[in-house]
Structure 1
Amino acid sequence: MTERAEAHHQHRDVTGGWLRPSVFGAMDGLVSNFALIAGVAGGTADTRVIALGGIAGLAAGALSMAGGEYVSVASQRELAQAEIAVERRELRQHPEDEQAELAQTFVDRGVDRELAAEVARQISSNPERALEVHAVNELGVAPGDLPSPLLAAGSSFLSFAVGASLPLLPYVLGATNLLVSAAVSCAALFAAGAIVSAVTARSWWFSGLRQLVVGAVAAAVTYGLGNLIGAAGL
């Protein structure tokens, strides 16, 4: 056997419960709090008010993200568990029909009918293994690999807080105008987008620029609104 034949490769986790909420939380925290701070700064020059708005945005956003992710993932998990229970009941009550259905899925994928029937028979001899195969084929999930609501909520909370703290940090350290916060936020936006490219197929510069443009546009719009409201004395 050659070394080439023995070579193995590993795929990154594309279904885990941590990546999406972590990435989304950090991006959302950075963009939303940068935009919020820019909007407040557009309406007032009082750095204490701006900092207070940023702190409130960080706390409210992190808690909202965590709560939303927990409920969303918990609901998704409960739906999957309910459907898995249906499949378990069908396997118990109609084993022959389920075995024939499994064999047909192999046939549909190009396996010889006799071989497909034998594979389905062997899989069906173990109820838990049969349940896992049916669940993956029909639901796209494995019974023992469902996403964790707590993991998703914790990832969202921490990542949002980290992202939201970056545009706020200059004001906490004594900055007196929006330019410092904007510079830090824009650099962080580009860096965050570039980092995300490590787990996607996009180039680092494309991902960085895309995230920078999204955040800058959001901040510019809210700054303009804050400026209009501040000028109107509302």
Structure 2
Amino acid sequence: MNQYKHHTHLSHRTGWLRAAVMGANDGIVSTASLIVGVAAANTSQQGILIAGLAGLVAGAMSMAAGEYVSVSSQADTEKADLAIEQKSIEQNFEFEQDELSKIYQDRGVEPAIAKQVAQQLMEYDALGAHARDDIGICDTGTAQPVQAALYSAITFTIGAAFPLIIAWLMPLNLLIPLVAIGSLVFLSLLGAIAAKTGGASIFTGAIRVTFWGSLAMASTAGIGQLFSL
């Protein structure tokens, strides 16, 4: 009886997971820090909410634009590399086949088998073989600018909404501690979920984002206190 059990790999999640975690994390940290900093300067609750809402909108747009431009640059580089490789395959087919064979030999494949594998892969999909094994471009890691921009903007908005809702519902005298504590709870949950989704340590993921969130809010609270003196 075959005891082999199929297992699911997690690397295909890296593209959207990175953008989603970054967006949500930035949404919580930046908005909570903004709210805490403005509140520490003895601003009215209405002013705090306006600042928080403005930070949400500006941050979501900034995240979307930044991700789109960044990932588009990566996509452009990948396309340029593939164009160079395609031209080399068309002009120097045997050289590219030998190069592929050498790559497999360096990975431990016997020369005769490596040459046979390279020949068959070149006949089946020459560019695809070189994209994977020579350049390092694969389907799971291919840059997707629109997907990254959408995930970042949406998750930033969701993340930023949490501290903003707390600031809206809570009385002004409790606003700073409740926004800070609530945001740190959200951050720890986000870190744990992201770590679980990516197959990493839940504890490490939670502590990592909570630490940096605490540092950011403490810094902006200090700046707000300076302006309240």
TM-score by length of 1: 0.90
2:171 corresponds in structure 1 to: 175
Deviations 1:111-167 (A, max 9, x none): 2212221222222223xx111111111221137962211100000000111111111
Q: List runs of 5+ in structure 2 lacking aligned partners.
A: none
The answer as to whether partners of 2:35 and 2:51 remain within 8 angstroms in 1 is yes
1:226 corresponds in structure 2 to: 224
Aligned counterparts, 1:1-234, within 5 A: 2-4=1-3, 6-14=4-12, 16-126=14-124, 129-142=125-138, 146-173=142-169, 175-176=171-172, 177-200=175-198, 202-231=200-229
Deviates more, 1:194-203 or 1:90-99: 194-203
CA distance change for structure 1 residues 145 and 199 in 2, over 3 Å: closer, same or farther?
closer
Deviations 1:64-121 (A, max 9, x none): 0100000011110011001001101111111111111111111112222122212222
CA distance change for structure 1 residues 216 and 201 in 2, over 3 Å: closer, same or farther?
same
Q: Distance in 2 between matches of 1:115 and 1:202?
A: 36
Q: CA deviation at 1:220?
A: 1.3
Q: Distance in 2 between matches of 1:83 and 1:15?
A: 24
Q: CA deviation at 1:20?
A: 0.4
**Would you say how many aligned residue pairs link Structure 1 and Structure 2?**
227
The answer as to whether partners of 2:12 and 2:141 remain within 8 angstroms in 1 is no
Q: Distance in 2 between matches of 1:117 and 1:203?
A: 41
The answer as to whether partners of 2:10 and 2:199 remain within 8 angstroms in 1 is no
Q: Percent identity?
A: 37
1:180 is aligned with what amino acid? L
2:178 is aligned with what amino acid? V
Q: Distance in 2 between matches of 1:38 and 1:86?
A: 51
Q: Distance in 2 between matches of 1:200 and 1:194?
A: 10
Runs of 4+ in 1 over 6 A off after TM superposition: none
Higher helix share: 2
The answer as to whether partners of 1:135 and 1:143 remain within 8 angstroms in 2 is no
The answer as to whether partners of 1:70 and 1:152 remain within 8 angstroms in 2 is yes
RMSD, aligned α-carbons: 1.9
Q: Distance in 2 between matches of 1:122 and 1:20?
A: 35
Q: CA deviation at 1:40?
A: 0.2
Q: Distance in 2 between matches of 1:22 and 1:138?
A: 29
The answer as to whether partners of 1:84 and 1:143 remain within 8 angstroms in 2 is no
Q: CA deviation at 1:57?
A: 0.7
